[in-house]
Amino acid sequence: MSVLPGTSDPFDSAVALQAALHSGEITAVEATTTYLERISSREDLGAFITVTADSALEEARLADELFDAHRNDPSATPLPLILGMPTAHKDLTEVAGVPTTRGSAAFEPEIATADHPVVATLRRAGMISLGKTQVPEFGLTGYSENNIAPPARNPHDLARTPGGSSGGSAAAVAAGLLPVAPGSDGGGSIRIPSLACGLVGLKTGLGTIAGDIESGAADPFGGPKLSVHGPIARTAADAALLMDALAPGGHYREAVARAGDLTGITVARCEASPFDAVFDIKLSPDARLAYNTAASRLAALGHLVDEADYTYDPTYPEIFTNGWTSGLSLLEIEDSAVDHLMPLTRAFRERALGRSAEEHRANATLLNQFAAEVRELWGRSDVVLTPGLTMDAPLIGEFLSRTPDGDYQLQCEWAPYTSVVNVSGLPAIAVPILKTSAGLPMGVQLIGRRGSEAQLLALAAQLQSFS
């Protein structure tokens, strides 16, 4: 296996790996085998729940046949964009023929009969799935610990969480077990683990990826649909490559390639959080340094950075929490299995069941009103800059050592800037800025207007150019 002349190791970058695959310098079987070996050697990370080596290698062999056929007849149909590129999917997402656990011991794993729409999109783009990654139960929490498998761990410090709910995927990408991975984000589940693991993580705007709204753009009670998909990657360029597969026609790689031309963007910086009304949100010195450093870099790049004094509706923490957990009231579960739920899931499900359908719909109306208000507020600037996480990633077990309410409070205090973006339906990107003296990543969040994913990726590329 050789390395392309003039490039670094192609396994250091999804973009470089794609070029090596398409040039024939590396075969899909070689790439798949390399990543499977890496996965096997890093079981200490707890990144994977299921590894599908046999099917992955078969898909790789078929990919190599397509590559060979195309080289013999270049006039044939163009090859899929990321043919032969290995990845993995969160164990909340259905992959045909593979068990889905949803991170819960309260249900038997189900063998999916069909791919989730986003999985199907990536399969058409030529991606090869190596398995399913660790998640919290039903993707509810910002850390990836459950009752069915060892916790996912942060590659920068194995004693700490990589975040959640895309924690297994982020840990795998950060450790080089995957070149890039799709994540899903219903309250920060792409951005939190990306920030904790030093990665670029793009939460797309609602509807940018067609598969996210195949069942509609509202939740079952009429509130904003919170969960969308997006890329988790080591660089903005890698994230753009995956975005061009997830949402064809968006010209994301082109935007990153031309990032140097981007200037004069109006940036509102603000560290106010909607959770300030109920929790004592404080930035650690490292989190503040990352926030200030990002603002200084954006200004140095020629963008117009101003302080914003946003004031959020103090009822947000309650209406978001009620909306975020309303779906638990629809969870059909045998009484004998309730005790197998995680403590937070069980407690918040009981509260959700205690509210009537009419109350859930009324709460959804309030969330829709808040979403419109925050879109108007943020829309006065091109981009909003917020801190990323407020402190270092907590230790494994720290959340679960608390009561459910204490667990939830720590999550909100650690990641108080993410969920409001899900309510708004707008895109946002997590960007690593620095490493602390302890070697832990610290980054920021950029929130954009509708349809600004390409611009956010370009800004992330600009910020990464300083490191």
For each of the domains in the chain, give its residue range(s) and CATH number, in order of start.
10-330+339-464 (3.90.1300.10)
Rounded to an integer, what distance in angstroms lies between the CA atom of residue 251 and that of residue 449? 17
Tokens of 458: 């370009």
d(CA 434, CA 144): 24
pLDDT at 76: 78
- pLDDT value, residue 8: 60
Q: How high is the pLDDT of residue 79?
A: 95
Instruction: Look at strands 200-203 and 428-435 and give their pairing.
Output: antiparallel
What pLDDT score does 4 carry?
Answer: 34
- Catalytic residue positions, numbered: 90, 165, 189
**In order along the chain (467 residues), what is the average pLDDT of each group of 10 residues?**
49 96 97 98 98 98 96 88 98 98 97 98 98 98 98 98 98 98 98 98 98 95 98 98 97 98 98 97 98 98 97 97 97 95 98 98 98 98 98 98 98 98 98 96 98 98 93
The whole model's pTM is what?
0.97
For residues 11 and 4, the answer to whether their CB atoms sit within 8 Å is: no
